[in-house]
Structure 1
């Protein structure tokens, strides 16, 4: 049985209290931090195909970003992006401080610890900037396409927003993080293949996205369209 949803604008959505928004925001930030911490700088090769290992899980943050924008509107998605941005900065500062602390006598894990948590400033800067720019592009395209399509063709909106958002993400992250460390050919190869894989991931996860969006919309009871919203990343949050 279909659920009747009330159409509301983005400003109303930003001011509304939602039942499940906080849970989705927590999941979004957790996946973002873990995918950047564990898989961002490792190259993997399977059957001759080279890719960044983080590709397996990082796109889930984009799926959640699509769900947040689709269900709760751009203004609420913007709050999540800034929360993720702040969390990445804190993770980078914490990693730097902990790695720099002198190890205790008898503890021989410093080298291994540094190899896992001692990312260079380039990787940290690349991760933060790429996430920030890519996620805002993703949410902007998603929200605009929803207005243009009248809320139909969710599959086109999720894939289209990921196409542009991940393109910006990859164009920033790999050159900033690895150009001059990896060969130019490696940077270009991994940048393009990771971008295409992320878009493919989004396409493959379309049935999951439909199910998740439908579940949350049915329970929140509204459908947010971002008419009249200021799409600047720096705009004052409408809920304030």
Structure 2
């Protein structure tokens, strides 16, 4: 399982993902689920992935044409004139990859190879856009009513997003919000794990404003985790007692 979130605020886009791909008593592994491409002055595009690792990596490989020699590769994301067409291209690749991976004599096995994606980015002269792409290849776009998307293990980190999200918040506030959302998820589900990948894309800037990998011993993340736990305890204690 995994957990990925994409937020769209007035200033741009903020994305975060965990890296755990397997979790068991004696086997834990991790893999990058946040990918980013940019053309300075023209476009900045990011993709978050959840689901079957072979499926998502195949989609990334097809986008980057990794089957070709390095000198012959050309990322198809760089050709689409709009983010809507980028989403269409990625959705078609995802649907086709799942279809190719499913044995023809066992269509029900398609669930084994399923995956979902969050696509975020901006092309010069247009607005930043955020999409949720389903395994079937269709997608929806973020709006005023739906300003963020989650994929993977979504339920534990969703309440804080719903309560605290504001489109006018700063990047620093958005990152703090994601830290709390991920901390809540990490504490509730062992299939989501550190390290975390963070990417900030500022409006009309076609290179990442900020990106980093957050390790388990990161001082800021530890401060957020302990501070949120303490704040919850104090809030609980401050509520009126039930009268019998």
**TM-score over 0.5 for the alignment?**
no
**TM-score scaled by structure 2?**
0.29
